[in-house]
């Protein structure tokens, strides 16, 4: 059984909980259910490593450890791939992209960035009453970080937090998601067994409930929280962190819109919309789950998208030809199905899909047409392979509907006129945007949300800066 990583030691579980294979519903393995005492021990170790060792100031040591981590992740990538497929239900083809191969690159990216990133900024001199004041800023580690992640892309989300936090000189307590503990524990084991990260610098916990996460967000020895998950949990974390005024960095939910403009290639735009919503069975925060179409072309586009969804291959995620795997749990599938049924009751038309497929937690690619933009299915995150088609009257109406959301994570636009598409994209209040299928997702591109989709940016240079404090210095010479 996999173990927790606390203060450099792999620690056995006092109690356990099962992790299921979502493609079969069967138990994959037991995972350690960390106790409050184990969580306390992890925080104490991270605090001690930050306060009493030279980890936060020794850049060459950090580079050496990050390079070891990069090497070991690449050497053990195939084991991680099989585990990610089995536990996350990620189709094999997705592990060659954002479920594994891309996240692994984050470690090298942040090691390279640390080598060239200016940790000192000279602000020059000013003169006050005849005396010269020289000023500069030094950027230093933010402190002890609690990193809390969701289930959907556990490798990406763990490494997008660990790599920049460690590069910055922070120490970390990483908490995996209750539905995908093994994938996160595997990272901890590789760190413990194959790298020289000093004890306490990286700690990895898993738990079946929210208690360990809550303990971390309230703990006075934690300086900063980096959280990815739902907006509802993000709100609770912000509240919990307020008592000790922690820096809080949040990557939250989304309800992104793809706008098909009236001059788009409807066939290719429809295929793109269909396959996008089925990526990891719709369990992606930035996926476009609302499809905004010109009212006069609504029926034509609906037919094309339905044909695309019916071509999506779903089934065994281990099969290299499978495009879509299962939802993570029976609970998640019931939630998705409930939302589809309520959408139909509210007047949307179920064009295709809407079926549970057993064994495992599969849900067929689903299309709802004629959706009212103010209804639940158009406003709330589904996190399943469910696309809601909303008709619009003109370009202004499309922009208004796209912005009519508490979220602001992502968006997409399709048009034969690139300039027109870019102009529309500029009017949407979101942190990322895809124009005619452009891919913004990469180690060097800042990712994050406007509005209730989050605070701060992950990846790229801003992803490192989230973990740095800035200290201003001044000297005076007569
Ligand atoms: P979730 O919010 O239920 O849980 C996320 C993590 O928070 C888990 O580890 C959970 O144990 C922990 N947690 C729950 N309650 C807590 C509390 N009170 N205090 C501290 N920790 C607590 O999310 P989920 O269902 O695992 O994941 C899906 C959500 O994640 C979706 O809303 C999705 O949009 C979002 N997400 C966002 C991004 C992004 O980058 N913006 C990326 C992936 C997923």
d(CA 14, CA 177): 18
Q: Are residues 416 and 309 in the same domain?
A: yes
Task: Answer whether 178 contacts ligand 1 (Cβ < 6 A).
Answer: yes
The pTM for the full model equals 0.98
**39: domain CATH number?**
3.40.605.10
- Asked whether 294 and 262 are in contact (CB, 8 A), the reply is yes
Q: Which residue has the tokens 């303990």?
A: 215
Q: Are residues 168 and 116 in the same domain?
A: yes
Query: Pick from 157, 208, 209, 177: which is nearest to 328 by CA?
Result: 177
Q: Are residues 244 and 265 in the same domain?
A: no
Q: What is the mean pLDDT of the chain?
A: 98
- Asked whether 28 and 183 are in contact (CB, 8 A), the reply is no
Strands 202-205 and 171-175: parallel
Q: Are residues 405 and 372 in the same domain?
A: yes
Q: Are residues 236 and 367 in the same domain?
A: no
- Asked whether 171 and 65 are in contact (CB, 8 A), the reply is no
- Asked whether 210 and 185 are in contact (CB, 8 A), the reply is no
117 part of a folded domain? yes
Q: Are residues 244 and 333 in the same domain?
A: no
Task: Answer whether 329 contacts ligand 1 (Cβ < 6 A).
Answer: no
Residue 243 has pLDDT above 90, yes or no: yes
Q: Are residues 362 and 330 in the same domain?
A: yes
* Residue 221, domain extent: 4-252+453-477
- Tens of pLDDT, residue by residue over 109-127, are 999 999 999 999 999 999 9
Query: Would you call 278 a catalytic residue per the annotation?
Result: no
Nearest CA to ligand 1 atom 19: 214
Nearest CA to ligand 1 atom 23: 229
- Tens of pLDDT, residue by residue over 300-357, are 999 999 999 999 999 999 999 999 999 999 999 999 999 999 999 999 999 999 999 9
Q: Are residues 354 and 305 in the same domain?
A: yes
Residue 348: its pLDDT value, please? Answer: 98
**428: domain CATH number?**
3.40.309.10
* Residue 478 binned pLDDT confidence (cut-offs 50, 70, 90): confident
Q: Are residues 270 and 412 in the same domain?
A: yes
Task: Name the active-site residue from 87, 251, 381, 458.
Answer: 251
Count of CB atoms situated within 10 Å of the CB of 146: 33
Q: Are residues 216 and 328 in the same domain?
A: no
Task: Work out how many domains the chain is built from and give that number.
Answer: 2
Q: Are residues 391 and 422 in the same domain?
A: yes
């Amino acid at each position: 059984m996999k173990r927790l990583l606390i203060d450099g030691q792999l620690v056995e579980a006092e109690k356990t909980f099962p992790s299921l294979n979502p493609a079969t519903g069967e138990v994959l393995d037991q995972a350690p259910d960390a106790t409050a005492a184990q969580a306390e021990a992890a925080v104490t170790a991270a605090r001690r490593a930050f306060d009493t060792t030279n980890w936060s100031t020794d850049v060459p040591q950090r580079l050496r450890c990050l390079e070891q981590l990069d090497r070991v992740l690449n050497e053990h990538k195939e084991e991680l791939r099989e585990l990610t497929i089995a536990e996350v239900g990620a189709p094999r083809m997705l592990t060659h992209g954002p479920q594994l191969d891309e996240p692994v690159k984050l470690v090298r990216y942040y090691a390279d960035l640390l080598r060239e990133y200016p940790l000192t900024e000279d602000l020059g001199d000013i003169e006050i009453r005849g005396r010269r004041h020289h000023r500069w800023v030094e950027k230093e580690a933010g402190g002890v970080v609690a990193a809390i992640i969701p289930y959907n892309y556990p490798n990406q989300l763990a490494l997008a937090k660990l790599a920049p936090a460690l590069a910055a000189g922070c120490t970390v307590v990483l908490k995996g998601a209750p539905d995908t503990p093994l994938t996160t524990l595997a990272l901890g084991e590789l760190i413990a067994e194959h790298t020289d990260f000093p004890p306490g610098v990286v700690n990895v916990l898993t738990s079946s409930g929210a208690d360990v996460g809550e303990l971390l967000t309230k703990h006075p020895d934690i300086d900063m929280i980096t959280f990815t998950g739902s907006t509802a949990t993000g709100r609770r974390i912000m509240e919990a962190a307020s008592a000790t005024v922690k820096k809080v960095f949040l990557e939250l939910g989304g309800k992104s819109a793809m706008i098909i403009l009236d001059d788009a290639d409807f066939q290719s735009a429809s295929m793109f919309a269909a396959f996008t919503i089925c990526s990891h069975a719709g369990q992606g925060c930035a996926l476009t789950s609302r499809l905004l179409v010109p009212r006069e072309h609504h029926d034509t586009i609906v037919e094309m998208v339905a044909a695309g969804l019916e071509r999506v291959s779903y089934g065994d995620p281990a099969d290299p030809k499978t495009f879509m795997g299962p939802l993570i749990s029976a609970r998640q599938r019931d939630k998705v199905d409930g939302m589809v049924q309520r959408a139909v009751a509210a007047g949307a038309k179920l064009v295709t899909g809407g079926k549970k497929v057993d064994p495992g937690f599969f849900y067929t690619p689903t299309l709802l047409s004629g959706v009212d933009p103010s209804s639940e299915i158009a406003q709330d995150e589904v996190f399943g392979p469910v696309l809601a088609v909303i008709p619009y009257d003109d370009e202004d109406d499309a922009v208004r509907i796209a912005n009519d959301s508490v979220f602001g994570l992502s968006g997409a636009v399709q048009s034969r006129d690139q300039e027109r598409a870019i102009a529309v994209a500029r009017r949407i209040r979101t942190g990322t945007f895809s124009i005619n299928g452009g891919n913004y997702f990469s180690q060097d591109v800042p990712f994050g949300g406007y509005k209730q989709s989050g605070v701060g940016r992950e990846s790229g240079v801003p992803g490192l800066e989230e973990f740095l404090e800035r200290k201003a210095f001044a000297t005076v010479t007569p």
